[in-house]
Structure 1
Amino acid sequence: MELPKGYTIRRFRPEDLPRLLEITDATFGPVSIDGNMERLLGPFSPGGWRARKREAIAEDCRAQPDGVYVAVDPRGAVAGYVTTRLNPATSVGWVPNLAVDPAHQRAGLGRALLAHALERMRQAGMRVARIETLEQNPVGQKLYPRLGFREVARQIHYAMRLDGAGGEESGGSSSES
């Protein structure tokens, strides 16, 4: 997969993490389960959806740092990233996160990052790759099939308040005795 002119892809370095978190903040709000929960249920944790998503990205970087790749622009700044998890026991590679800074979007960088991750999975002996996207993410819904992914299932996520805020303390109520 051809990279936009002047860009390179390399492995994640620990000093990249702050930039990955900035990109996360700029891209995942409209297309994250954490953002959806907060919009529906209101704030419920310190730092909101951003803190929860940032922790997920940091965990990807801690768990399998060799499976995190960054795209670097011609000036040397990180412009996007992809995180992967490999399970040799099942031969399945998973792409939990793919993000490109809005200033670098629409140039093929996300496609190049994903193609790079898939090639690394092949080299590591993975036989299947999986990725997920939300219904409200039209970019992912178009990109992933173009790269060969096939829809396997649709999943519905539910959430509820347990602290009584918003009148949703219990999972269900019934007027029947």
Structure 2
Amino acid sequence: MPTWDWAALAGEDLPEIVAIEEAAHSYPWSEAIFEDCLRAGYRLDGAFSRGQLIGYSVVMSVLDERHLLNLCVDPAVQRRGVGRFLLERLFESARAGGARCVILEVRAGNDAAIALYESAGFTEIGHRKAYYPAPGGREDARVMRCLL
């Protein structure tokens, strides 16, 4: 199995983060959203292969919960374990910080992400109607939680 490096991300990483975000999503977050996340003190972590950013996560801490706001892998390396690697690092840091669970929202139609989250121990705890922008309207979200 490939191994990757893991490190905290900062403002200088924004061009690479945004490039991956735009390559992976039809409705990507803007650079300003990532800047706001950094300013708010959210945790941005990256997976690196030979010094190149290949995926990242954005996590907000609320008391003993971690809210996974964004997990994205460069489309060129998707389905090779990078997303799972990022989730495992998130779980490690969350446990070390005293978190009891991780919560996320995922597009109801994102079968690959849902399969990853379920295989990592997430279960559905809710549903958000018309949560995400989508062609011709809005798409629902599944709210999922993993107890640590």
The structure whose residues are more often helix, as a share, is: 1
Count the aligned residue pairs.
132
For 2:94, the equivalent position in structure 1 comes to 121
Cα–Cα, structure 1 residues 133 and 53, in superposed 2: closer, same or farther, change >3 Å? farther
Cα deviation code 1:12-70 (max 9, x no counterpart)? 132111100111101121xxxxx3xxxxxxxxxxxxxx4x54433332222225x1110
Q: Aligned runs of 1:27-66 on 2, under 5 Å? A: 27-29=24-26, 35=27, 50=28, 53-65=30-42
Structure 1 contact 61–68 (Cα < 8 Å) conserved = yes
Q: Counterpart of 2:46 in 1: which secondary structure?
A: strand
Cα deviation code 1:83-129 (max 9, x no counterpart)? 101112xx111000000111111110011001101211111111111
Distance in 1 between the 2:25 and 2:69 partners? 12
Distance in 2 between the 1:92 and 1:142 partners? 22
Cα–Cα, structure 1 residues 54 and 156, in superposed 2: closer, same or farther, change >3 Å? farther
Aligned residues with identical type, % of pairs:
29
The reply to whether residue 69 of structure 1 matches residue 45 of structure 2 is yes
Structure 1 contact 72–79 (Cα < 8 Å) conserved = yes
Question: Unpaired segments of 5 or more residues in structure 2?
Answer: 133-148
What is the TM-score when the length of structure 2 is the normalising length? 0.81
Q: Counterpart of 1:71 in 2: which secondary structure?
A: strand
What is the TM-score when the length of structure 1 is the normalising length? 0.69
For 1:168, the equivalent position in structure 2 comes to none
The reply to whether residue 25 of structure 1 matches residue 22 of structure 2 is yes
The structure whose residues are more often strand, as a share, is: 2
Return the letter of the residue paired with 1:15. Answer: E
Give 1:146 deviation, angstroms.
0.6
Structure 1 contact 80–99 (Cα < 8 Å) conserved = yes
Question: Unpaired segments of 5 or more residues in structure 1?
Answer: 30-34, 36-49, 160-177
Return the letter of the residue paired with 2:59. Answer: T
> How big is the alpha-carbon RMSD for the aligned residues of Structure 1 and Structure 2?
1.8
Return the letter of the residue paired with 2:24. Answer: T
The reply to whether residue 145 of structure 1 matches residue 121 of structure 2 is no
Distance in 1 between the 2:23 and 2:91 partners? 25
